Structure 1
Amino acid sequence: MLDQIVDGPDGWTGVDADADWAAEVRRLAAERNAVILAHNYQLPEIQDIADHTGDSLGLSRIAAETDADVIVFCGVHFMAESAKILSPEKTVLIPDERAGCSLADSITAGQLREWKAQHPDALVVSYVNTTAEVKALTDVCCTSSNAVDVVASLPADREILFCPDQFLGAHVRRETGRENMHIWAGECHVHAGISGPDLTRQAEENPDADLYIHPECGCANSAIYLAGEGLVDASRVHLLSTGQMLDEAGRQGSGTVLVATEIGMLHQLRQTAPGVDFQPVNDRASCSYMKMITPAALLRCLALGVDEVDVAVDVADAARASLERMIAIGQPGGGE
């Protein structure tokens, strides 16, 4: 089966996710004492073969508590880095090391150093969707579900540098009313592409639908506007992390829900609440980086022990401290 794998323009291909593939993946995972983690935005067949599916921080914390020797992180590169930061003694593999992230890439460590130099007394709050080097320069990390709590916990007289997502930052500023908060102009290209007009059109066509909106989305402000103007019942508008979407889905029961996040999330939502009609606000909202983790890539990774992710000890120690400060505040929530 390994000799069928080829490296194409969209990643590793040549293997179908059939019963033989699944059996071989499970055999290789057992042989390596590996735990397979799959992010909610992964291909359905990758989610289904994984030992654990969820958001990146939650998965990393689960993996740290297992007795596995190897963590295979089916996600993008910064997620595998977070797993290594929290499990420095374990081997961490990502099925395709080329799987990057436009949001994490929207701020570099060098750019953050320059920004900090312009605001020397400010505290840095970084979303977990950042590189290890950025986390290492951060005072406290946050997730989309606890970003408001993290910022609210910091001294009111200290400036805040919030990075990298401008839409999540705008949500936090709106909820906290914090005026001394500077927001980096970064974004996830997939979430930014889920626009206000997309949401407005879908909401008009589905007037009784609930709305699950990820705070990273470009349509988040539009959702609040629609509710404020009475065009959508405010009780139907939910700004949620991916983990919170699953919790809300479990309470939903029936009806239609319009979902504004990467479309891979629909697989988990439909499994959680099969009686609900989940529909994407934008059916083209697919992350090409997430989809680089193919069945062929996972098989290759487990068979050959590639691609390993490592983080320098000093960087990992500093990054871990920023994550631990977040956890100490409480309600660490989900990763995205």
Structure 2
Amino acid sequence: MTVAPALPDTATQDAGAPAPYETAAADDGRVPDAGWAERVRALARQRDAVILAHNYQLPAVQDVADHVGDSLALSRIAATASQSTIVFCGVHFMAETAKILSPDRTVLIPDARAGCSLADSLTAEQLRAWKAEHPGAVVVSYVNTTAAVKAETDICCTSSNAVEVVASMPADRTVLFGPDQFLGAHVRRVLRRDNVLVWGGECHVHAGINGDQLAATAAAHPDAELYVHPECGCATSALYLAGAGAVPADRVRILSTGDMVQAASRTRSRQVLVATEVGMIHQLRRAAPGVDFLPVNDRASCRYMKMITPRALERSLVELRDEVTVDPDTAARARRAVQRMIEVGTPGGAE
């Protein structure tokens, strides 16, 4: 394997003019060399930066970060951090949310190409048209949306408090819920509200974890607990398996990523099947080293999350790239939707 050359001694450089970061073409930057973590931490101190990493990031990136968690929890940490620079190792809407909540800080994402299929499935223009079709409806948007969509939203939610947020709306009021169709279906199922209209968006990774895979994996591991993210296409199948007695009901858990970590730290099971992006397994194993965590689909990896390679993180700190900005008016409107969510209830494990 070819590794990237070591950076120059950045401690002696002018902070405003870091040396360029050269890379080797044969290396995709996913595997760090032996001195990488030490260099990254030194650069973070020099840049007065805090490193935040989402649960779906590569293990090396999670291990070097100051904080690891779900997108909203990390954004809330960013809002109270003492550092002047936030390096958000996640996808673009997450870094935007951090900027919305921390408008006076510099927010960097190590690779600006790291988008999100779920966030892209609903645009501000589409949401405005949907609202026009249903005048008077309340718009509840999953936090996994762009700043522009949040600005058109009445209140945001996370996967752990989506039911609570929608339940806080008057029962006779139409709710437009977007963009995730599977989380929306979960809310409708729990609240039994027909006036919750759901957008047809999805996360391509979670949608690819299907009911057949879930049933086969559960049958092969009959004593295992089952953690299912509500964005998954198989969430309904999980509840069906429990209802049909194929899996004991008390072993099926529909959980956000943050709630998965909490559940893992308390579980008495020796084996847990996990239906979400495979990067989550690293945090679960850290929370409960004695438990065997197995992905329901070991190919459920988000290519956008994995764009944040160790090399990209180091380059971001050296070159102070790529900065995330949000128009001040858009940010102010989006901030109201996020703050309303927090007022309804503690976001818990967020997405």
TM-score normalised by the chain length of structure 1: 0.97
Instruction: Evaluate the alpha carbon distance shift between residue 152 and residue 320 of structure 1 in structure 2; reply closer, same or farther with a 3 A threshold.
Output: same
Instruction: Evaluate the alpha carbon distance shift between residue 15 and residue 99 of structure 1 in structure 2; reply closer, same or farther with a 3 A threshold.
Output: closer
Partner of residue 38, structure 1: 53
Partner of residue 20, structure 1: 35
Which of 150, 156, 159 pairs up with 1:141?
156
Partner of residue 103, structure 2: 88
RMSD (Å) for aligned C-alpha atoms: 1.2
Partner of residue 64, structure 2: 49
Which of 175, 186, 192 pairs up with 1:171?
186
Partner of residue 277, structure 1: 292
- Give the SS at the match of 2:140: strand
Which of 310, 321, 324 pairs up with 1:306?
321
Partner of residue 271, structure 2: 256
Partner of residue 319, structure 1: 334
Contact 2:29 2:312 in 1 (8 A): no
Cα-to-partner distance string for 1:128-186 (whole Å, 9 max, x where unaligned): 00000000000000000000000000011110000000000000000011111110000
> Whole-Å Cα distance in 1 between the matches of residues 53 and 288 of structure 2?
19
- Give the SS at the match of 2:299: coil
Contact 2:163 2:187 in 1 (8 A): yes
> Whole-Å Cα distance in 1 between the matches of residues 118 and 132 of structure 2?
22
Partner of residue 250, structure 2: 235
Contact 2:181 2:202 in 1 (8 A): yes
Q: Does 1:203 align with 2:218?
A: yes
Q: Does 1:246 align with 2:261?
A: yes
Moved more, 263-272 or 250-259: 250-259
The amino acid of 2:42's aligned partner reads: R
Cα-to-partner distance string for 1:236-256 (whole Å, 9 max, x where unaligned): 000000010001001114411
Moved more, 35-44 or 59-68: 59-68
The amino acid of 1:303's aligned partner reads: V
- Give the SS at the match of 2:197: strand
> Whole-Å Cα distance in 2 between the matches of residues 334 and 73 of structure 1?
18
> Whole-Å Cα distance in 2 between the matches of residues 238 and 254 of structure 1?
13
Instruction: Evaluate the alpha carbon distance shift between residue 204 and residue 148 of structure 1 in structure 2; reply closer, same or farther with a 3 A threshold.
Output: same
How far 1:328 sits from its partner (Å)? Answer: 0.5
Partner of residue 58, structure 1: 73
Q: Does 1:72 align with 2:87?
A: yes
> Whole-Å Cα distance in 2 between the matches of residues 43 and 135 of structure 1?
28
Q: Does 1:5 align with 2:20?
A: no
How far 1:21 sits from its partner (Å)? Answer: 1.1
- Give the SS at the match of 1:27: helix
The amino acid of 1:323's aligned partner reads: V
> Whole-Å Cα distance in 2 between the matches of residues 304 and 15 of structure 1?
19
Q: Does 1:151 align with 2:166?
A: yes
The amino acid of 2:205's aligned partner reads: V
Contact 1:253 1:275 in 2 (8 A): no
Structure 1 unmatched ranges of 5 or more: none
- Give the SS at the match of 1:71: strand
Cα-to-partner distance string for 1:226-285 (whole Å, 9 max, x where unaligned): 011111100000000001000100111441100000000000000100111100000000
Instruction: Evaluate the alpha carbon distance shift between residue 76 and residue 202 of structure 1 in structure 2; reply closer, same or farther with a 3 A threshold.
Output: same
How far 1:7 sits from its partner (Å)? Answer: 7.0
Structure 2 unmatched ranges of 5 or more: 1-5, 8-20
> Whole-Å Cα distance in 1 between the matches of residues 25 and 305 of structure 2?
16
The amino acid of 1:53's aligned partner reads: V
The amino acid of 2:78's aligned partner reads: A
Runs of 4+ in 1 over 3 A off after TM superposition: 12-16
Partner of residue 133, structure 2: 118
Contact 1:5 1:15 in 2 (8 A): no
- How many residues matched? 333
Partner of residue 160, structure 1: 175
Contact 2:225 2:269 in 1 (8 A): no
Contact 1:13 1:297 in 2 (8 A): no
> Whole-Å Cα distance in 1 between the matches of residues 51 and 187 of structure 2?
33
Instruction: Evaluate the alpha carbon distance shift between residue 116 and residue 222 of structure 1 in structure 2; reply closer, same or farther with a 3 A threshold.
Output: same
How far 1:330 sits from its partner (Å)? Answer: 1.2
Q: Percent identity?
A: 67
How far 1:16 sits from its partner (Å)? Answer: 4.1
